[in-house]
Amino acid sequence: MTEASNGRLKWGEARELNPLETLMWRIETDPRLRSPMILIELLDQTPEWTRLRSACEWGTRMAPRFRQKVLEPALGLGTPTWVTDPDFDLDYHVRRVSLPGGSDFTAFLRTAEQVSMTPLDRARAPWEVVLFEGLPDGKAAFMLKMHHVATDGLGGVQLLGQLHSRQRESNPHKPQPSPPPPERASAGALLRQQLGRDLSGLPGMFRQGISTLRQVSDPVGWIRNAASYSASLRRVLADPPVDNSPLLAGRSLSFRFCALDVRFADLRAAAKHAGASLNDAYIAGLLGAFRRYHEAHDQPVDAIPMAMPVSVRQDGDAQGGNRFVGVRFAGPVAIAEPKARMAAIHQQVRQILAEPAVDAVSVLAPALSWVPATFLPALTGSLTKNNDLQATNVPGLREARYLAGARIDRAYGFGPLPGCASMISLLTHLDQCCIAANIDPAAITDVPLFGRCLVEGFEEVLSLAPGANTPVLRI
């Protein structure tokens, strides 16, 4: 556990949203671009409510980000800032839901979808916790809904790895920091502070630019490099060289969830047999599912536009926040042989990551912080709206963890649907790859069929690992 001197975690300590987070926060003027991240943990028993509520309250003192809201500068210009909410109310953020008697996992998912689709209150700390009671055999599910501006997937795992317990029993010796003091900041004052800071820094930036130009010893080479970067920037920002699938053209504001369990050792063995990475095998399984889904509707396609975040988080980086770049490419759906599919995926991703301008959005985002929010969806929304698939792979917790005395048996990360047809996430937990699919039902209209196609797509990949277990579908 990494703690600051006051006993709190050294997680989520940045005062201002970074440029990428600012963009994610502001493009929500288009409701299709909302970015809630959903973590669902399946528990082996129903935790005692008072103990769970106390654990959540303790978590807000250990990680004060949970007590902070986002304050926009006046006129929606400048950089949004985290401030401690003077009206923070734990009972608004933490609640429980009793499922009807006889509810199964499917009924739970339908209820979880409804909670997930409810927009977060942007005037409060942007997160909610729900305990779902009434699953079969006395089990329960814990849901954390948090806005993406607070953290990416790896940052979330960093947090939960420190807040979740290694034992069922209560720990009377854990740190007990005080809550952070409330802040009463105004939007106008925030804008004045940022304008003053930015204007005072302009002379220094100008002098630094002049100094840099004077130190250029090879002007021709400098111009050549600038032209090369410009060409790379055009390639990175361009849509993938493939049309959207007509079958997946619909878009709505609705979510549909399904989940798949794949044994980690089996998927790793299949990847090793193909000389590929675990991520290559994972994406190959997803694209196999999309091939089968299109064939079932008698509308085969060669490829679909897809995107994949790649973490740029390094050792020594501050914990929490968002540190990733987006990789967009044409997912090779039509390649039926899984080994060849993995090779094609690997080659495309490696080529894109080698682009000098691969982090173009982060480079351009600071300038976008001064663009009125109403214009941002038109400027940047196509980076996600034009994708038929967004997929992410996050290394999770490989050791047993407990929440208020209940063991966490599975952990599924349902990512947001920012205008795309589907967002599918892999989160490793213990010995399982927990695959969570968030699907727009206007695009993928037959979710049960797609679930079966997911199983078959991963069976194709796992056929490379003799003795592999059959994936388990939860829908």
pLDDT for 233 equals 75
C-alpha radius of gyration, the chain, whole number = 23
Task: Give residue 48's pLDDT band: very low, low, confident or very high (50, 70, 90).
Answer: very high
Six token digits for residue 352: 């894109």
Q: Is the pLDDT of residue 209 over 60?
A: no
The residue count for the chain = 475
216: pLDDT strictly greater than 60: no
- The predicted model gives 272-287 an average pLDDT of 97
Rounded to 10 deg, the angle between the 264-273 and 338-353 helix axes is 80
Domains along the sequence of the chain with CATH: 19-189 (3.30.559.10), 237-396+421-474 (3.30.559.30)
Active site includes 148?
Answer: yes
Q: Distances from the Cα of 119 to the Cαs of 28, 122, 126, 392, 416, in angstroms?
A: 10, 9, 10, 22, 12
DSSP per residue, 76-123: G-S--EEEE-TT--HHHHEEEEEPPTT--HHHHHHHHHHHHHSPP-TT
The residues with which 406 forms a beta bridge, in sequence order, are 403
Higher pLDDT, 462 or 190: 462
pLDDT digits (tens, 9 = 90+) for 451-472: 999 999 999 999 999 999 999 9
Tell me the average pLDDT across 400-408: 97
pLDDT at 228 over 90: no
Reported as a pLDDT band with limits 50, 70 and 90, residue 371 is confident
Nearby residues of 114 by Cβ (< 8 Å), 6 or more positions away:
none
> Band of the pLDDT at 355, cuts 50, 70, 90?
confident
Q: What is the predicted pLDDT for the residue at 415?
A: 96
Question: In the structure, what pLDDT confidence band is assigned to residue 222 with cuts at 50, 70 and 90?
Answer: low
Going by C-alpha positions, the residue among 475, 406, 392, 396 that lies closest to residue 142 is: 406
Question: What pLDDT does residue 381 have?
Answer: 65
User: Mean pLDDT across the stretch 252-256?
Assistant: 97
CA dihedral 268→269→270→276, nearest 10 degrees, is 60
Please determine, for residue 201, whether its predicted confidence score (pLDDT) is greater than 90: no
The tokens describing 440, both together, are: 């727009």
CA 161 to chain centre: 17
Residue at token pair 């939860």: 474
Average pLDDT, the chain: 91
- Identify whether the C-beta of residue 436 lies closer than 8 Å to the C-beta of residue 448: no
Do residues 148 and 155 touch, judged by C-beta distance below 8 A? no
Average of pLDDT values for 160-187?
Answer: 93
Burial zone of 371 (CB within 10 Å; 0-12 exposed, 13-18 middle, 19+ buried): middle
Asked if residue 321 lies in contact with residue 152, where contact means CB atoms within 8 angstroms, the answer is yes
Pairing relation of β-strands 406-414 and 422-429?
unpaired
Q: Which residue has the higher pLDDT, 461 or 327?
A: 461
Whole-angstrom distance, CA of residue 281 vs CA of residue 287: 10
User: Where is average pLDDT lowest: 105-109, 172-176, 208-212, 396-400?
Assistant: 208-212
The pTM (predicted TM-score) of the whole model is: 0.92
Q: If pLDDT is split at 50, 70 and 90, which confidence band does 362 have?
A: low
Residue 205 pLDDT > 90: no
Q: Which of 93, 147, 148, 429 is catalytic?
A: 148
Question: Each residue of 113-149: pLDDT tens digit?
Answer: 999 999 999 999 999 999 999 999 999 999 999 999 9
By the 10 Å C-beta count (0-12 exposed, 13-18 middle, 19+ buried), 153 is classed as buried
Backbone φ and ψ for 169, nearest 5 degrees, come out as -75, 150
